Amino acid sequence: MKRIVILASGTGSLAEAIFNADFSEQGGEVVALICDQPDAQVLKRAEQRHVESYTIPMLPDREQWNKELETLIAALRPTLVVSAGFMRILPKEITSRFKIINSHPSLLPLFPGAHAVRDALAAGSHETGTTIHWVDAGIDTGQIIVQEKLAINSDESEESLHERIKIVERGLIVATIRRLLPTLES
């Protein structure tokens, strides 16, 4: 069985789309969630879906935290790690050891980082979208796997645009996982 481990930090709407998907045709299953926020709503969503979850709160010593995260990921033996709203930059030791994908709310390389939706609006963009990419040690710099465009309405707020992007993201991340799993070694 191909093992999927999810990394998430927030409310978990993207993670929930993955929890709810059936990857059995691709020989995969979601085996765990790792979260860095002890009070994150994603932990409740995982519990409701009977997904084993682990919390590793950020430590004052970032290197120690990185080592704890790497050790836990390794113990879970993932075929694929999916960053679904995990708001941490991962070090090269982790990104070079595991196959990790991320969903980002812009058409990379435009608007990397934590404020992509706000940045697209501030730049006066007429379109944005979502990107699924391989994770490297940079900030949203990994190889692009797939993108889907979305027009920006003239009266769009950051919140309304982000919600529309999330709808696209949920479908695209699940479709991408389904596409990738058959190509990955267990």
Dist CA 186 CA 100 (whole Å): 14
Given 104, 115, 133, 162, the catalytic residue: 104
The set of residues, in sequence order, having a beta carbon less than 8 Å from that of 102 and lying 6+ positions away, is: 82, 83, 86, 132, 133, 134, 135, 140, 142
Could you tell me the two tokens for 162? 């982000």
Q: How far apart are CA 88 and CA 160, in angstroms?
A: 24
Q: What is the pLDDT of residue 112?
A: 97
> Which residue type, as a one-letter code, is found at position 125?
S
With cut-offs at 50, 70 and 90, classify the pLDDT of residue 49: very high
- pLDDT tens across 133-184, in order? 999 999 999 999 999 999 999 999 999 999 999 999 999 999 999 999 999 9
Residue 104 falls in the annotated catalytic set: yes
Tell me the domains of the chain and their CATH numbers: 2-183 (3.40.50.170)
pLDDT at 186 (0 to 100): 78
Order across the sheet with 2-8: list the strands.
Answer: 53-55, 28-35, 2-8, 80-83, 100-104, 127-134, 144-151
Residue 95, pLDDT above cutoff 90:
yes
Helix, strand or coil, per DSSP, at residue 156: coil
